[in-house]
Structure 1
Amino acid sequence: MVNLGALPRMPGGERCAYRLVNSKFPTISVFDDVANADEFEALYALQALTNPRLQNEAGNLNLIPTEEIPFGIRGCSYAVAPFTHVNLDGSRFSDGSFGVLYLGDTIDTALAEVRHHQETYWRNVPDLSFERFVFRGLACDVEEAGMVDGLAIPREHPIYSPVDYSASRRLGLALKEDGAPGLRYPSVRAPGATCWGLMTPRPVMAIVQTAHYEMIWSGSIVSVNRVSPT
């Protein structure tokens, strides 16, 4: 088990990191239309009267305290989405009971991480011979202050296992309970690269869409291409 208290904390500084989201999911704007929590509650209550899809778009708001939502930033909805639309199957640092915002130091790192997980998923889908998956690329400005520096943990530690997430999920739960804003750690799918796992959207300063990327499936992902600048 990792001793969370023995790990260094990041002193601070703004970093640009990258993320991909599947373009089959529609964009969400409800968090971008307001500047603070009071405005959000009023707008949400008003829109809920006329928009039956609002709850699906916003996700489960019970999964994140309103005070953790960075209202007023550009791309607030992108920052909040992983915490209100939680992957119930879990991820490296979550057992599926809470969300984590994953970022890579370059778009290539984000592509490598997503490519691995897409291949793992679609390999188990029978009779899928050919498919095209399209993703939005997102550039994220984040503040590292207070994040735990997982680069201090030896690369051979079980939390970086490529297949067994039991140790990393225990660390993720400890980070969540500690109130740590996130973890910086080495990418498992792109050797030499760096990733971040944010336990809250608070460190996000802005998120903007960059380009679209496609992954072509034919028994495996046979190509990854940038398909548009915006």
Structure 2
Amino acid sequence: MNSKFPPMTLFDDVINKEDFATVYAIQALTNPRILNELGDLSLLSSSEIPFGIDGVNYVTAPFTHINPEGSRFSNGDFGVLYLADTIDTAIKESLYHQEKYFQNLQGLHYDTVDMRCLKVTFSASVADLFQVKGIYEQEDYSLPRRLGAELKKNAQQGFQYYSVRNQGGTCWGLFSPIHVTSAIQTKHFEFIFDGKSMSKVRELVKQ
């Protein structure tokens, strides 16, 4: 997850949806940045926000700051919280998408992005997609996106599948943050873009 996004938000300051509704109404009047920080709350019911857990702001962000370009299992109409089995899998999955983003920025010759690693625990009944054909294409997301929409429509909590970017790795996708019980930051990494590719990953160590 990008280390500069999301920042600490109002989600961290309250422990239930009743308090959130009150504090949000007050903050929205006095803090013009609050809407940008929290994202589009119309996309996520307050009953789906796991108030009181560690890292609540991290696990709600994919559902209130939805990427309009979509992802492997979403065309951009809804958010998905993607998780990986190991740090190596998470890095390789993130590297691919960050690299693709930077390559589309014309004239960019060098840049870096800091990424935070989260240890996430969750309890959800997930659909097993390991052997589903057609969802592991490198670039063509048409079939998994249709499948993702169908799973969400049928009220599935999430799904599991093989990592596309790290052979042998496993990934999960959750349709709601409510299934997460904890999201604790562990490590920080810096991805370095050399103008052509993400050429280096460096772990950032506190001095």
What's the TM-score once normalised by structure 1's chain length? Answer: 0.85
User: Is the contact made by 2:6 and 2:58 (CA closer than 8 Å) also made in structure 1?
Assistant: no
Question: SS at the partner of 1:92?
Answer: coil
Question: SS at the partner of 2:116?
Answer: strand
1:170 pairs with one of 136, 146, 157: 146
Specify every segment of 5 or more residues in structure 2 that has no aligned partner in the other structure, as ranges.
Answer: none
1:182 pairs with one of 149, 153, 158: 158
1:23-46 CA-partner distances (Å, limit 9, x unpaired): 233513211221211111011111
Q: Which amino acid aligns with 1:200?
A: S
Specify every segment of 5 or more residues in structure 1 that has no aligned partner in the other structure, as ranges.
Answer: 1-20
What root-mean-square deviation, in Å, do the aligned CA atoms of Structure 1 and Structure 2 show? 1.4
State the shift of 1:108 in Å.
1.1
User: Is the contact made by 1:93 and 1:169 (CA closer than 8 Å) also made in structure 2?
Assistant: yes
Alpha-carbon distance between aligned partners in 2 of 1:202 and 1:69, rounded to the nearest angstrom:
6
Question: SS at the partner of 2:12?
Answer: coil
Aligned to 1:109: 89
Aligned residues: 206
1:149 pairs with one of 117, 128, 132: 128
Question: SS at the partner of 2:53?
Answer: coil
Percent of counterpart pairs with the same letter? 48
Q: Which amino acid aligns with 1:69?
A: I
Aligned to 1:69: 49
State the shift of 1:59 in Å.
0.6
Alpha-carbon distance between aligned partners in 2 of 1:171 and 1:52, rounded to the nearest angstrom:
38
State the shift of 1:212 in Å.
1.1
Alpha-carbon distance between aligned partners in 1 of 2:92 and 2:121, rounded to the nearest angstrom:
20
Aligned to 2:168: 192
Alpha-carbon distance between aligned partners in 1 of 2:112 and 2:39, rounded to the nearest angstrom:
26
State the shift of 1:229 in Å.
5.4
Question: SS at the partner of 1:184?
Answer: strand
User: Is the contact made by 1:22 and 1:136 (CA closer than 8 Å) also made in structure 2?
Assistant: yes
Alpha-carbon distance between aligned partners in 1 of 2:190 and 2:83, rounded to the nearest angstrom:
18
Aligned to 2:190: 214
State the shift of 1:124 in Å.
2.2
Q: Which amino acid aligns with 1:194?
A: T
Alpha-carbon distance between aligned partners in 2 of 1:65 and 1:179, rounded to the nearest angstrom:
15
Q: Which amino acid aligns with 2:176?
A: T
Aligned to 2:104: 124
User: Is the contact made by 1:89 and 1:95 (CA closer than 8 Å) also made in structure 2?
Assistant: yes
Aligned to 1:225: 202
1:33 pairs with one of 13, 21, 46: 13
1:44-92 CA-partner distances (Å, limit 9, x unpaired): 1111121110000111011011111111211111111100000001000
Aligned to 1:13: none
Aligned to 2:65: 85
User: Is the contact made by 1:175 and 1:199 (CA closer than 8 Å) also made in structure 2?
Assistant: no
